[in-house]
Amino acid sequence: AILGPPEVNISSCPNCLNVTIKLPASHFRDKGKLLSLIDIYEELDYDITLKSQDGEHKRPRQRTTEEVFSVVIEELYPSRNYCLSVGVTASLNKNSVPSPWKCVTADSEAQQGYHEAAVAGAVCVSLIIAAVLKCVHAAGFIFPKFSLPQTLV
């Protein structure tokens, strides 16, 4: 039997990827009930292969006893595109089909507070401009309170 491809979903986090893996379904039944791969093998190994502009990197093999589980891949470069594929094998069955490649861009730390920082910066610049205009007005350079003598005009 060939272990089919797992279902993989990826979401990005700051400098990391959150990968949710759902093991493939089996076709074996016991007393009419469809058995999961965990029911059959008790534990499975999975490999995550990660591709980026730096090349392809196979992460160390991990083991699971859950049908659906999550893995966080950390220490990634921000704003870089990453693609990954997951393969599942059992101790008694090394025949498997890996998941199709899925791609996502890793978030950067700076993007988290970007909107708030932009608004705060705009408010600060507006206050500085208002203060400069008030000083220029108080000095009489704009909208003077008295008119200049005819000889200076």
Q: What confidence tens digit (pLDDT) does each residue in 45-68 have?
A: 999 999 999 899 999 999 999 999
Residue labelled with tokens 């990954």: 84
The confidence score (pLDDT) of residue 145 equals 66
Q: In whole angstroms, give the CA distance from residue 46 to residue 64.
A: 8
pLDDT band at 26 (very low <50, low <70, confident <90, very high): confident
Per DSSP bridges, beta strands 16-22 and 68-73 are antiparallel
Tell me the average pLDDT across 77-99: 92
Average pLDDT, the chain: 86
| Token pair belonging to 146 | 């008295």
With residue 50 as reference, give the H or E element that holds it. strand 44-52
pLDDT band at 16 (very low <50, low <70, confident <90, very high): very high
pLDDT band at 147 (very low <50, low <70, confident <90, very high): low
CA atoms within 13 A on the CB side of 64: 21
The confidence score (pLDDT) of residue 114 equals 58
Q: What confidence tens digit (pLDDT) does each residue in 66-87 have?
A: 999 999 999 998 889 999 999 9
The confidence score (pLDDT) of residue 130 equals 85
| 123-131, long-range: CB < 8 A, 24+ apart | none
